[in-house]
Chains A and B, each alone.
Chain A
Amino acid sequence: MSTVVTQQVDEVKSTPWSGGRSPFNVEYGKMMMWFFLLSDAFTFSSLLISYGALRFSAPVWPTPSLVFQSVPGTSIESGAPLVFVGLMTLILILSSVTMVLAVEAGHRNAKKEVIWWMVGTIIGGVMFLSCQALEWNHLFHEGFWWSRIPDAKTLQEFFKEGVPLSQQQMSSQQFANLFFTITGFHGFHVFSGVIINIIITVNVLIGTYAKRGSYLMIEKVGLYWHFVDLVWVFVFTFFYLV
């Protein structure tokens, strides 16, 4: 009789949701990082969808290939659409790759490799931020900023012939506000990602995770970093391509 009861109890306890262990088979902090990123995904989609709605309802919109056709930091002022942002995209994807490689090295407890891949990721992040600073600077000197747009002559360069000035001004202002808010919010995520990566790299250097016996922390910051890359994929499409 008593053996039957024990068996039943054991059987109940063997299901993932019966307690005593993580049903998702992930560590608490990693699961919470996932849920944080989910909430962040909602924030970014709200921003991007509002952008979409405002752009849909606008009679005209500045043409992306005319607004973004220079390579800031060089003498190329026009005729090179997507070149600079293509470079930025490449940098961010590459830094995502170095991040996965750091995670992979962490699984093998290879401290030296983790450090080098993390340093690569940080350099990628800093390069991306510098590119974004150049891009913002370029647009700022053209006259775009929050609640500020270029003069009528400059504005005409971004539209087809024959669009009334009042329509140009209204949609350019919407474009400027949305562009700086959304890329700014993304850039702020990249910035915090770089800071977090630096803190984690210092921890790796002083041997915190070697002592702990697990490099799981690298995975958690890795999730955040990939999310930043993921958001950029969408920002890139909706601001530069569409």
Chain B
Amino acid sequence: MSSETATIHHDDAAHGEHEGMTKKRILNVFYILLGITAVEFFVALVIAPKHPGALWINPIYIVLTLVKAFYIIAYFMHLKFEKMGLIMAIVLPVLFIIGLILVLTNESHYWIELRRALSSLL
């Protein structure tokens, strides 16, 4: 699939940008999304109850969510078949979101300490 899409990408000036999705490929992406959601359900309903308080469950959900997001953006939203310049213009700014996650995660740890300090004062 990747070599196929690579040729499409390089030929896009000639082909236009519309050659990426066929009905078959649309259904394939749908099955992938459905499959990942089924795995998430399996983890939530079968695996997670057996390991209460396990810290590795949430990272599984987040990774699976990001995989789903990739398939929606790349194939349904067709971004994979656009010019590299447009891909970069859309994907690179998203890196700022990672910055916000880091900043607010750090801040929330500070809030925990603050809350503890305040409750001991009262």
As a 0/1 sequence over residues 40 to 83 of chain B, the CB contacts with chain A under 8 angstroms (1 = contact) are 11011100000000000010011011001100110111100011
Taking the closest CB of chain B, its distance from the CB of A175, in whole angstroms, is 15
The stretch from A37-45, A124-132, A179-187 touching chain B is: A37-45
B72 smallest CB distance to A (angstroms): 5
- Bound CA–CA A24/B68 (angstroms): 25
B43: chain A residues at CB < 8 Å are 241
Q: Contacts A24-B82, A41-B97, A49-B104 known; A237 to B65 CB distance under 8 Å?
A: yes
Q: How far is the CB of B103 from chain A (nearest CB, A)?
A: 9
Q: With contacts A57-B115, A93-B34, A104-B26 known, is A25 near B76, CB below 8 A?
A: no
A53–B104 CB distance below 8 A: yes
Instruction: Give the number of residues in B that approach A within 8 Å (Cβ atoms).
Output: 51
Partner of A104 from B22, B37, B97 at Cβ < 8 Å: B22
Question: Which residue from A16, A25, A89, A107 sits with its C-beta under 8 Å from B82?
Answer: A25
> Which of B100, B109, B115 is close to A46, meaning CB atoms less than 8 Å apart?
B100
A204 to chain B, nearest CB (A): 17
The chain B residue sitting closest to A46, CB to CB, is B100
Chain B residues packing against A (C-beta within 8 Å): 12-13, 17-18, 21-23, 26-27, 30, 33-34, 37, 40-41, 43-45, 58, 61-62, 64-65, 68-69, 72-73, 75-78, 82-83, 85-86, 89-90, 93-94, 96-97, 100-101, 104-105, 107-109, 111-112, 115
Extra A-B contacts (12), CB below 8 Å, given A34-B86, A229-B76? A25-B12, A25-B82, A35-B90, A42-B96, A45-B100, A53-B107, A56-B109, A82-B44, A103-B21, A104-B22, A222-B77, A234-B65
